Structure 1
Amino acid sequence: MLNFTPTILKNLLSKSSTRLYPFETREPFKNVRGELKINIEECKLCGICAKKCPVNCIKVDKKTGLWEVNPFECVYCGICVDNCPTNCLYFKSEYQTPNQTKHLKTFHKIEKN
């Protein structure tokens, strides 16, 4: 026990080596793949992103104009973003905020007449 006393005192009196997340956040790294976003107005609902997704977390229904993603299944590999023909998918440079419940992110495309 006496061998640990200097270490204990040093740790108690020194500055904390960790951040108090989520109160203190750090600047995201350059080119980070954060939260997956879509510009639904530019989307053609072709479904290529859903076909290329390795974990099938994207669902596209062209008939109803529905595009949804399950962010808790997504591995943020970027294959859907790379294969999107209209470049409407992109990664936000910030991470997703912590949630207590799992939910789908759903977007409806409204057709203009």
Structure 2
Amino acid sequence: MLFTPTVIKNLLKKPATRNYPFTVREPFPNYRGELVIDIDGCIFCGTCSRKCPSQCITVDKNAGTWQCDPHACVYCGICRDNCPTKCLSMKDVHRKPMTEKITWIEQGTPPKPKKKTAEKKEEK
């Protein structure tokens, strides 16, 4: 008998939860979601891979590849904050669930080393 008022009240109220796949809540402000890279702006310095606490980013300057394991990423944003060219950003949505594990690989062109003409002139 003690539960009857509670049951009636719960039947008349709207549900406390959302029907998730069909009703999606808008993300909060400054939400750190999926990692995005502008590979054309990347200089392949490797700062993001050194600063990443989960070590999910691998940068190969010689080959010009930037690789990320999204399943190991903790979405902390430290790589984005430490990128000197600001080519890393984060979307305000989280990645969709996947059935198989993937690794995200981006191929770019590493910048050519600057010629040392000033040093050559000083030596002469």
| Larger-gyration structure (1/2) | 2
- Mean Cα displacement is larger for which, 82-91 or 3-12? 3-12
When normalised by structure 1's length, the TM-score is 0.85
Question: Residue 72 of structure 1 aligns to which amino acid in structure 2?
Answer: H
Q: Which residue of 1 aligns with 2:67?
A: 68
Q: State yes or no: 1:88 paired with 2:94.
A: no
| Per-residue deviation, residues 23-46 of structure 1 (Å, max 9, x unmatched) | 211111111111111001111111
Structure 1, unpaired ranges of 5+:
none
When normalised by structure 2's length, the TM-score is 0.79
Q: State yes or no: 1:37 paired with 2:36.
A: yes
Question: Residue 56 of structure 1 aligns to which amino acid in structure 2?
Answer: Q
CA distance in 2 between partners of 1:7 and 1:68 (Å): 54
The answer (yes or no) to whether the contact 2:32–2:90 under 8 Å persists in 1 is yes
| Per-residue deviation, residues 57-112 of structure 1 (Å, max 9, x unmatched) | 10111222211111221112211111111100011112222222221111111469
Q: SS at 1:10's partner residue?
A: helix
CA distance in 1 between partners of 2:74 and 2:9 (Å): 40
Q: Which residue of 2 aligns with 1:98?
A: 97
Q: State yes or no: 1:109 paired with 2:99.
A: no
| Per-residue deviation, residues 2-25 of structure 1 (Å, max 9, x unmatched) | 332332333334211111112211
CA distance in 1 between partners of 2:24 and 2:99 (Å): 19
Question: Residue 34 of structure 1 aligns to which amino acid in structure 2?
Answer: G
> What is the number of equivalent residue pairs in this alignment?
111
Question: Residue 15 of structure 1 aligns to which amino acid in structure 2?
Answer: K
Structure 2, unpaired ranges of 5+:
112-124
Question: Residue 92 of structure 1 aligns to which amino acid in structure 2?
Answer: K
* Higher helix residue share: 2
CA distance in 2 between partners of 1:32 and 1:7 (Å): 36
Percent identity over paired residues? 51
